[in-house]
């Protein structure tokens, strides 16, 4: 649905530092986010109940699909972010930028 959800194709949030999409998938995202010059305002469900291997597989696929060419994500990377963030609430774009400098750029 055009304009309803941020695109994954060409999104620096997805293809940049892999810690950022891992954090988003594990804990969710809420509020405004800019992707490819457009602003979106909504929420993404947290999927932290998924095993580390599944999160890694989904993110590896998304980082290499739709013309994206980012590197793979490992279960060890997912575990590290899961352990670091604990049971926090959904992220905002500002919190991600503060925690992961360069996120989304």
Predicted local distance difference test score (pLDDT) of residue 42 = 87
Would you place residue 59 in the very low, low, confident or very high pLDDT band (cuts 50, 70, 90)?
Answer: very high
Look at residue 100 and tell me if it is in a domain.
Answer: no
Cα gap 47→72, rounded to integer Å: 19
- pLDDT value at 4 more than 90: no
Count of structural domains within the chain = 1
Look at residue 55 and tell me if it is in a domain.
Answer: yes
Is 69 exposed, middle or buried, given 0-12, 13-18 or 19+ CB atoms closer than 10 A? exposed
- pLDDT value at 71 more than 70: yes
Cα gap 73→50, rounded to integer Å: 15
Q: What is the CATH number of the domain that holds 24?
A: 1.10.760.10
pTM of full prediction above 0.75: yes
Look at residue 98 and tell me if it is in a domain.
Answer: no
Is 44 exposed, middle or buried, given 0-12, 13-18 or 19+ CB atoms closer than 10 A? middle
């Amino acid at each position: 649905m055009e304009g309803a959800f941020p695109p994954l194709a060409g999104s620096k949030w997805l293809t940049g530092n892999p810690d950022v999409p891992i954090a988003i998938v594990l804990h969710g995202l809420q509020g405004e986010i800019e992707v490819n010059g457009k602003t979106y305002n909504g929420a993404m469900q947290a999927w932290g109940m998924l095993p580390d291997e599944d999160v890694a597989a989904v993110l590896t696929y998304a980082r290499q699909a739709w013309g994206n060419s980012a590197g793979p994500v490992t279960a060890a990377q997912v575990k590290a972010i899961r352990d670091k963030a604990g049971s926090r609430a959904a992220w905002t774009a500002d919190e991600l930028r503060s925690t992961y400098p360069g996120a989304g750029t």
